[in-house]
Amino acid sequence: MEKITKNLKTKVQDVTEKGIVTIQITQFDKFDSDNDRLLKGALTKTWNEGSQVHLVNHQMGTATYVGLPISKDATTGIIESKLNLNKQVGIDLFEDYKFSQENGRSLQHSHGFQVLKDKAKKNDKGGYDFSEVKQFEYSTVLFGAVSETPLIGLKSEKDINQVIKDLEIKLKYFNYSDEHCKLIEKQILELKERKEPSIDTLNGSFFEKW
């Protein structure tokens, strides 16, 4: 069976100066948009045996591989993840984590896994309950569909102005790479022109250009 990804509302627990972020990558026994549920205990075996990696937007490759887990709690869905601050992609992501924490916001997280045979049962809402899965990776989803401030869904001028302000603060105070700064500047320009950002800017290719 092919890998699938699931995204529920999650949160950042902590960010340290050593590049370690404590993040919740899923919630158990909660219905997602497909009416599927990951049941408590579904990650226990794969977290004991697996070797997951930290990605950005589920994109495989060195440009989006940012870190590794140093501890995992299968009862809460919380991972303590160490970012590679020797890579610019890791530094840029760490700056986003710090910015979000300092401004009372939270980045979004998701994970990619394979459903195991006989471990998925139809539930009363028409989706599936997964009692066990094989997880491959967990991802930071900066502009996910369920993000608190998704650029794709911005409608009001007030919301647009707030995002522009946040992006301008990022440019002024945080240590991003030149390429990342150019992409932020492009987003600001698009927002000021009150156009919807392109899908290419918001999805995987956003990071592949780093």
* pLDDT digit string, tens, across residues 18-52: 899 998 888 899 888 788 999 999 999 999 988 89
pLDDT mean over 155-174: 72
pLDDT mean across residues, the chain: 78
pLDDT at 205 over 50: no
* Whether 59 contacts 172, CB under 8 Å: no
* pLDDT digit string, tens, across residues 68-97: 999 999 999 999 999 999 999 899 888 888
What confidence score (pLDDT) does residue 14 get? Answer: 67
Lowest mean pLDDT of 18-27, 80-89, 137-146, 156-165, name the range: 137-146
* Whether 179 contacts 89, CB under 8 Å: no
What confidence score (pLDDT) does residue 158 get? Answer: 61
What confidence score (pLDDT) does residue 121 get? Answer: 94
What confidence score (pLDDT) does residue 28 get? Answer: 92
pLDDT at 198 over 50: no
Lowest mean pLDDT of 69-78, 152-161, 177-186, name the range: 152-161
- Return the domain boundaries, the chain: 4-141, 151-208
Pick the closest to residue 73 from 109, 108, 41 (CA basis). Answer: 41
What confidence score (pLDDT) does residue 152 get? Answer: 36
The per-residue b/e assignment along 112-147, b for 16 or more CB within 10 angstroms, e otherwise, is bbebbeeebeeeeeebbbbbbbbbbbbbbbbbbeeb
* Whether 208 contacts 64, CB under 8 Å: yes
* Amino acid identity at 149: T
pLDDT at 210 over 90: no
Q: What is the pTM of this model?
A: 0.66
pLDDT mean over 47-59: 89
What confidence score (pLDDT) does residue 10 get? Answer: 63
